[in-house]
Amino acid sequence: MAQPQEPVAAAVPPVKMELQSIEDFEAEMDARDTVREAAVKATLPVNPYHLPKKPKRTVDTDALEAEKLAREELGSVDWISILNDYRMANPVATPGAQPAGLPGLEYKEIILTSGILRFAFTVKITESPLQFGGETPSFSNKKDAKRYAAKKAIDWLSENKYIRSSIHSSVTSMAINAEALEAEQIVREEIGGGNWFGKLLEYRNAHPITAQSGAPPTGAPPGLNYEEAVLNFSGLLRFAYTIEIAESSQKFGGSVQTFSNKKDAKQYAAKKAIEWLIANNHMPSDGSVRFAKPPPPVQLQPKKRKSLSPSDSSPDGTIKYATLVPTLCHKLGFGPPRYEIEKMDNTALCNGYAIFPGNPIIDGKVGEVFNVFGQKNTKEEIAEIVYSFLKDIERQREGQLDIQGNKRLRSFKLEDSE
């Protein structure tokens, strides 16, 4: 008589997943034990001795302690992104087949299955023959294992002067100091809405410097150099600018004051350079880039009207009213006007007008114009209107003098007739 075959328990799928912590692994194993027990009960008589024993799962306490210390060392910094940023900023060409990822930066994953699933990573960089990371310490998830290997590579780069130690120490601070953010807000209010870099370019173009032979072109006019700095604080990018001008050996801006965008960093450095130029009498403080020239001396010739001299005309014969206005102002006993010209955003068009500061006779704007191409043309159009305005005043004065002269002449004739 054939013996009945003993029922076989249903197979339980093996554990195959990436676990984020020891607790996740324990919960998964308990759930699978429950499935296994239910399968066995469905095929065998109820007998506790037939139930399979739970596998012993032990964790090396030394490994857990090492992982804890390594996590404290890592903090919350994204070391992987920082190492990637360094590699992209310092690319290398590797011969032969290219591994996945960035050339000159190669990660290798290690899975440890002694009792409980653990992870480790190694990373190799072109600058060093060493391999960073390894099986000790191991981690309960892949991300921390990879971050640890990346941090060890960055530590080596910093120690061997591939990364500036100041940048490395600022990154390890893990966060931007609240005082730095408050300082940025204060400086933004100081910058205001002015285009300081545009004004600095205008100054440089008005006072050109001869380029040094052999100097590499930077895109800026000779005598004006600027450099951008990008700082990575825990994955958060910050920006700074340094500006150098020919008039000073001092550098303006720098990484002491950082900003959340490039525009403010550039405007801040330019503002500091302009403040130095004004303080050292290289630039007027009224917003213009040139100091006003004193009006030329005028030779008075009684009762003789003089035609426009060749010096008052441009080479093509047109009148230069900007040179006529100071002479006429002096003749009338007025100070020269001040031209207020404003350049419209992102265009070469300008608006402007003239004022006579300290003159009680002429109050307000004179010769206001709009949408004129170029500052020079704007000033000339304003000057033409101002010149016509001053000539009207001159004619009114001459008319009053003629009336007074006629009155005196009539009074003389009456006295003679008597």
Q: What is the pLDDT of residues 125-157, one digit of tens each?
A: 999 999 999 888 889 899 999 999 999 998 898
> Looking at the structure, do residues 274 and 185 belong to the same domain, yes or no?
yes
Q: Domain range for residue 267?
A: 178-209+220-279
> Looking at the structure, do residues 88 and 108 belong to the same domain, yes or no?
yes
The residues, any chain, with a CB within 8 Å of residue 164's CB and separated by 6 or more, are 158
> Looking at the structure, do residues 189 and 167 belong to the same domain, yes or no?
no
| 3 state SS of 346 | coil
Give the pLDDT confidence of 20-34 residue by residue, as tens digits.
Answer: 566 666 777 777 778
- Please report the pLDDT score of residue 303 as a whole number: 43
pTM: 0.34
Residue 40 pLDDT > 70: no
**Residue 233 falls inside a structural domain:** yes
* CATH code, 107: 3.30.160.20
Q: Rounded mean pLDDT of 354-373? A: 86
> Looking at the structure, do residues 316 and 398 belong to the same domain, yes or no?
yes
> Looking at the structure, do residues 269 and 254 belong to the same domain, yes or no?
yes
Q: Which residue has the tokens 């050339």?
A: 103
The residues, any chain, with a CB within 8 Å of residue 221's CB and separated by 6 or more, are 201, 204, 205, 208, 209
Residue 273 pLDDT > 90: yes
> Looking at the structure, do residues 145 and 126 belong to the same domain, yes or no?
yes
**Residue 297 falls inside a structural domain:** no
**Residue 418 falls inside a structural domain:** no
- Domains in the chain, number: 4
**Which of 159, 107, 152 is CA-nearest to residue 133?**
152
> Looking at the structure, do residues 48 and 18 belong to the same domain, yes or no?
yes
**Residue 2 falls inside a structural domain:** no
> Looking at the structure, do residues 71 and 164 belong to the same domain, yes or no?
yes
Q: What are phi and psi of 141, to 5 degrees?
A: -145, 160
> Looking at the structure, do residues 36 and 75 belong to the same domain, yes or no?
no
Domain end marker among 279, 302, 325: 279
Other C-beta atoms lying within 10 Å of the C-beta of residue 82: 25
- Please report the pLDDT score of residue 178 as a whole number: 62
**Residue 288 falls inside a structural domain:** no
Give the pLDDT confidence of 167-189 residue by residue, as tens digits.
Answer: 555 454 444 556 677 888 888 88
Give the pLDDT confidence of 276-287 residue by residue, as tens digits.
Answer: 999 998 888 877
> Looking at the structure, do residues 224 and 160 belong to the same domain, yes or no?
no
> Looking at the structure, do residues 19 and 106 belong to the same domain, yes or no?
no
> Looking at the structure, do residues 70 and 45 belong to the same domain, yes or no?
no
The residues, any chain, with a CB within 8 Å of residue 397's CB and separated by 6 or more, are 332
**Separate counts of helices (H) and strands (E) for the chain:** 10, 9
- Alpha-carbon span 52 to 45, nearest angstrom: 14
**Residue 163 falls inside a structural domain:** yes
Is the CB of residue 225 less than 8 Å from the CB of residue 202?
no
**Residue 321 falls inside a structural domain:** yes
**Residue 68 falls inside a structural domain:** yes
